[in-house]
Amino acid sequence: MADATGGTGGTGSSGSSGTGGTGSGRSGSHDGVRAIVTGGASGIGAAIAAALQDRGATVAVLDLQPSTAEGFLSITCDVSDDASVRTAVATAVEQLGGLDVLVNNAGIGAQGTVEDNGDDEWRRVYEVNVLGAVRLSRAALPHLRASGNASIVNTCSIAATAGLPQRALYSATKGAIAALTRAMAADHIREGIRVNAVNPGTADTPWVARLLSTAGDPAAERAALEARQPHGRLVQAEEVAEAVAYLTSPLARSTTGVDLAVDGGMQALRLRPA
């Protein structure tokens, strides 16, 4: 069975701002919050950007591809390139008027055992999934120190906490993100900067849809992935976004160094067969 866990969003974005979010009615908790979301043009990243905006945040979406959603400042950014990251963050901070929240969501997937990918592929995926978060955090920290509600959230994965087949490279990058999150939380807590991670299970995203489309029997493959998660379905991007909204809320100031699982119980539960 091909595992479909992985791939959180793009690696950058360009475009313009528009007028509105999804209108969930949960406005207010993030009033005045200025946020950057990487990989925010699609999938989990787009859901995170919308959730923060719905709650009153002003959001800059950084992605390789333009965001077509209205209401966001959209900036082209390649997280594998330090100059691109620094330029994008500086542009976002200038237009937002400061920075309170960074969501390191940009990421790419990888399949195979430890034997199946050569050094170049390992470097390519690490450049995006790990060093991308490092570059964004490094560029954002000087601005976050000036915030009264500074928060970084890293999109991690169930692959960091459970051994999944055919996911050696991807799991290694997400394990690095989990460790980095805790280290950063320790480094920056006395600066008033909270650092947390969100760990989605296998999510219903465009990346997973593309992976399923290559399976011999896409319907059977999807059913197998759903059955693997204790709640019997794929995680929705909006569910991950809700977790990120909590972690970035000014009301969560005592929450730091946390890996928040949004995986239908996959990490913690061991159910007997039905």
Q: Which CATH number fits the domain that encloses residue 145?
A: 3.40.50.720
205-233 pLDDT tens trace = 777 777 778 888 888 888 777 778 888 78
* pLDDT for 22: 42
Cβ density class 152-170: b for 16+ within 10 Å, e for less: bbbbbbbbbbbebebbbbb
Confidence at residue 225, expressed as pLDDT on a 0 to 100 scale: 78
Q: Which domain holds residue 194?
A: 34-262
Instruction: Give yes or no for a contact between 235 and 204, defined as CB atoms under 8 angstroms apart.
Output: yes
Cβ contact 202:235 at 8 Å: yes
Q: What is the pLDDT of residue 154?
A: 99
Q: pLDDT value at position 179?
A: 99
Cα(49)–Cα(51) distance, integer angstroms:
6
Closest CA to 37 of 106, 93, 103: 103
Q: Is residue 167 a part of any domain in this protein?
A: yes
Mean pLDDT of the chain: 90
Tell whether 61 is covered by a domain. Answer: yes
Q: What tens digit of pLDDT does each residue of 13-41 get?
A: 333 333 344 444 466 899 999 999 999 99
CB 47 within 8 A of CB 238: yes
Please check whether residue 274 lies inside any domain of the structure: no
Q: How many domains does the chain have?
A: 1
Q: Is residue 65 part of a domain?
A: yes
Q: What parts of the chain have a pLDDT lower than 50?
A: 1-4, 9-25
Residues carrying an active site annotation: 170
Residues in the chain: 274
Residue pair 15/238 in contact by the 8 Å Cβ criterion: no
pLDDT of residue 6: 53
Residue 22 lies in a domain: no
pLDDT of residue 190: 98
Cα atoms in the Cβ-side hemisphere of radius 13 Å centred on 62: 30
What are the structure tokens assigned to 234, written together?
Answer: 């794929």
CA Rg value for the chain? 18
Contacts of 194 (CB under 8 A, 6+ apart): 150, 151, 152, 185, 188, 247, 252, 253, 255, 256
**E-only strand ranges, the chain:** 34-38, 58-63, 73-76, 101-104, 150-155, 193-200, 259-262
The pLDDT value recorded for residue 5 is 58
Return the pLDDT at 208. 76
